[in-house]
Structure 1
Amino acid sequence: SLPLPRAWLKESHDFSFSGLKTALWHLVHKGGVSVADVAASFQLAVADVLVAKTIEAARQLKVEQILLSGGVAANKTLTQRFLAESPVPVLIPPPHLCTDNAAMVASCGYYHLQAGRVSGYDLDVVPSLSIG
């Protein structure tokens, strides 16, 4: 595997992969590495952080189970790591139900359109917006 950074944001359950993306960009543009090595190393780096931080959050919050969903739940390496390392049960839907959220977002947009709630092109994202 290639040496790639892991972002362990201290005192936080948040994830940040910007340093990893930058390291990958430099690695690929420098050349001399195979696509397979880059992909495997990226997968390992992301899985290390996702698994460790999720399990630590579950421990701190005293949850009884972890649910993996969405596109990441279709990744076999990630699901195997969660199943092997989690001290609590991990619920994983079958792969055909582990897709990205595009259909959900489109469905939400459809219902907003039907209700007359339309946003203009000036709509901006709010990455720190909380749910609830």
Structure 2
Amino acid sequence: MIVCGIETSCDETSVAIYDSKRNKFYSLVSSQVDIHSKFGGVVPEIASRNHALNVMPLFIDVLKMAGVSKEDINLIGVTKSPGLIGALFVGVSFAKGLAFGLKKPIVGVNHLFAHIVSTEIENDVKPPYLGVVISGGHTHIYLVDECYNLKLLSKTIDDAVGETFDKIAKFAGLPYPGGPFIEELAKKGDEDAVQLPIGLKGDNDFSFSGLKTHVINTITSNKFKLEDVAASFQRVVVDTLALKIDYALKRTGVDVVVVAGGVACNNYIRENLPKKLNMHCYFPSKKLCTDNGDMVAYAAYLLYRKRKFLSKFESALDIDEFIK
């Protein structure tokens, strides 16, 4: 089966071709980081316009890369939610037009589901497992069963972990996106120098707003080197993730953890979260942690194979559905 995956949920346009018979992926990404960095964050209208400019050229180029024609495509997958409304609209409109023109089936894919299952692309792992999404907009833990049904176990009640990285970095005068710059600073710091709180310590859900405020106040006080603050912050992020994952492991009885999303690019988290949990954790490669069409194509393939989308085939990509 040849699957086309289209991703436009935020500030990266990506189109991928997945050849399931050969288990081969071909993918292109157009990033808008340089465009939005001058504004200190993503500007939704600018993101949407750039998606509209980029999606067709990427589609043409990825077909050439994969050595297939548009007529060879058997299935189209597209991110339908969550994300920026205008950005999603571009991808969904393109995918629906493509599906209509080629008379091919289309599957709307949940962005978080795609991140979770992206771990399977390069790892020998299958559900049941805990799917942990750590990104700029989400910090969620799901139980993923054998049929790829998701049950939400934990979520953030305020800031997402990636959002917390970026807000702290912005306050500290670091460039956008701030996560990699905090990680680089932290390499030179003492992670035990600053005592920082874990939010909602006895609860299943996450809270990072208190940690964010505490870090900002610590920076303002000028009592600690910025490198020490960054290192201590990363340590507490790992402690928080490990605590909530441990709660979820005990509640569900599963013994496999996959961790995905943009923040999963962080080397400190990749190295220290498994140590803190005292177990192996599966991560996608870094190129699959950020938004990409590969994960959308693969997720669409899984959903199509399970026929999970058929009960809502007509409504799954209606505008009222995907902007929720």
Into which bin does the TM-score normalised by the smaller protein fall? 0.5 to 0.7
Residue number in structure 1 paired with 2:319 = 117
1:7 aligned partner, one-letter code: G
Deviations along 1:63-105, whole A, 9 cap, x unmatched?
1311100012111221222322435542111111112x5x68x
CA distance in 2, matches of 1:28, 1:87: 32
Distance 1:116 1:66, change over 3 A: closer
The 4+ residue runs of structure 1 with deviation greater than 2 A are 81-89, 115-118
Q: Evaluate the alpha carbon distance shift between residue 76 and residue 116 of structure 1 in structure 2; reply closer, same or farther with a 3 A threshold.
A: same
Instruction: Provide the residue aligned with 1:48 in structure 2.
Output: 239
- The residue type equivalent to 1:117 in the other structure is I
Length, aligned pairs only: 109
* Aligned ranges 1:98-113 → 2 under 5 Å: 98-99=289-290
| 3-state SS in 1 of match to 2:260 | coil
| Superposed displacement of residue 3, structure 1 | 1.3
Partner residue in 1 for 2:196? 4
Note closer, same or farther for the CA distance 1:89–1:19 as it changes in structure 2 (3 Å cut).
same
User: What secondary structure sits across from 1:68 in the alignment?
Assistant: strand
Equivalent position of 2:273 in the other structure: 82
Q: Partners of 2:246 and 2:226 in 1: how far apart?
A: 30
Instruction: Tell me, yes or no, if the aligned pair for 1:8 and 1:49 is still in contact at 8 Å.
Output: no
RMSD: 2.7
Which of 18, 28, 34 matches 2:225? 34
Comparing 78-87 with 36-45, greater Cα deviation is found at 78-87
Matched, 1:66 2:257: yes
Higher relative contact order (CA 8 A, sep 6+): 2
Q: Is the 8 A contact 1:64 1:89 kept in 2?
A: no
> Separation in 2 of the partners of 1:62 and 1:116?
37
Q: CA–CA distance in 2 between the matches of 1:116 and 1:65?
A: 35
Structure with a larger share of its residues in strand: 2
Distance, in Å, in 2 between the alignment partners of 1:22 and 1:44 is: 16
**Aligned match of 1:16:** 207
Aligned to 1:110: none
Deviation at 1:62, TM superposition (A): 0.9
User: Could you report, residue by residue, the CA deviation over 1:6-55 in whole angstroms, capped at 9, with x for unpaired residues?
Assistant: 12442x31110111111112111111322211111110111111112112
Task: Name structure 1 gaps, 5 residues minimum.
Answer: 108-114, 126-132
User: What amino acid maps onto 1:5 in structure 2?
Assistant: P
Letter of the 2:255 partner, please give it.
E
Question: Percentage identity across aligned positions?
Answer: 31
Paired AA for residue 78 in structure 1: I
Q: Check conservation: 2:238, 2:273, Cα contact below 8 A.
A: no
CA contact (8 A) 2:261 2:289 kept: yes
Structure 1 CA distance, aligned partners of 2:225 and 2:319? 48
Larger radius of gyration: 2
